[in-house]
Amino acid sequence: MPIMEIVARLVLAAVCSAAVGFEREAAQKAAGLRTHTLVGVGAAIFTIASIVGFEGADQSRVAAQIVTGIGFLGAGAIFREGAFVKGLTTAAGLWAVAALGLAAGSGSYALAGIGTVVVLTVLYALRAADAAVARRTARARETIRIHLESGDYMSSVLKFARRIDEHIVQLDFKRLDGPRCMLVLAVDPDQTAMISEMLAAHKGVERVERLNALYHPPGATPPKPKTG
């Protein structure tokens, strides 16, 4: 294979995978621009090596191993936080850029280009759709006030609360007399009682108060007024 052909395939793999990695980087995910680019280029190198380095062998075997091997890398991006599983989209993105790198490395330029457009469309368009659905389904949240013995406990209490409900919103934080401070959160009304009890038992929490105030998330569809 001519050297320029090899360069062209590797550059295409880098460009396609970097485009996907840029979206992940902009979304502030753990695997970003460099990780996705390296995965795509690595898949392309393996593919080219199987073509030029093993004449007479079954070249498709390397492609099959890339599909299997990338699964272990993607698994590292998936983690569980409380009742929620995160990182699935990033893992799927790594799997997709490996496929793009394989296509570029095999010389399927059209497949690599079209595949990149499709992957980016899914990531950008569906992310916007998810945000729109979240805004429409968002509802008013109940406000609770947490009195802390010291501001040093604020981070651990907030992290603990978000393990229970990842959509908790921090509304305010004030320092009181001495080391004492106050943290105000907006929580799911259906879970307010449970969250309040669990936070009241947390280390460093003096007491938890439920306020008669509602928080409406930005962009949320306002509730319809009752008639009759």
Domains by residue range for the chain, with CATH: 3-135 (no CATH), 141-214 (3.30.70.1150)
The contacts found for 219-222 with CB under 8 angstroms, 24 or more apart, are 219/135, 219/138, 220/135, 220/136, 220/138, 220/139, 220/140, 221/135, 221/136, 221/137, 221/138
pLDDT above 80 for 58: no
pLDDT in tens, 110-155: 999 999 999 999 888 877 777 666 555 456 678 888 899 888 888 8
C-alpha 215/C-alpha 142 separation (Å) is 6
pLDDT above 80 for 85: no
pLDDT in tens, 169-187: 888 888 888 888 988 888 8
pLDDT in tens, 209-219: 888 666 655 55
**pLDDT, greater one: 178 or 58:** 178
Per-residue CA distances from 142 to 76, 186, 189, 199 (Å): 36, 5, 5, 15
* DSSP structure class, residue 203: T
C-alpha 126/C-alpha 89 separation (Å) is 11
Judge whether 22 and 35 are in contact, CB under 8 Å: no
Per-residue tokens: 169: 């919103």
Predicted pLDDT at 80: 61
What is the average pLDDT across 28-33? Answer: 77
Q: E strands along the chain, which residues? A: 79-81, 84-86, 141-148, 169-175, 181-187, 205-215
**pLDDT, greater one: 213 or 201:** 201
Of all residues in the chain, the percent with pLDDT exceeding 70 is 78
Predicted pLDDT at 225: 44
**pLDDT, greater one: 189 or 6:** 6
When pLDDT is cut at 50, 70 and 90, the band that residue 223 belongs to is: very low
C-alpha 146/C-alpha 129 separation (Å) is 35
Mean pLDDT over the full length of the chain: 80
Per-residue tokens: 69: 């091997």
Judge whether 148 and 154 are in contact, CB under 8 Å: yes
What is the average pLDDT across 159-169? Answer: 82
pLDDT above 60 for 15: yes
Please calculate the CA angle 183-219-78 and round it to the nearest 5 degrees: 70
pLDDT above 60 for 220: no
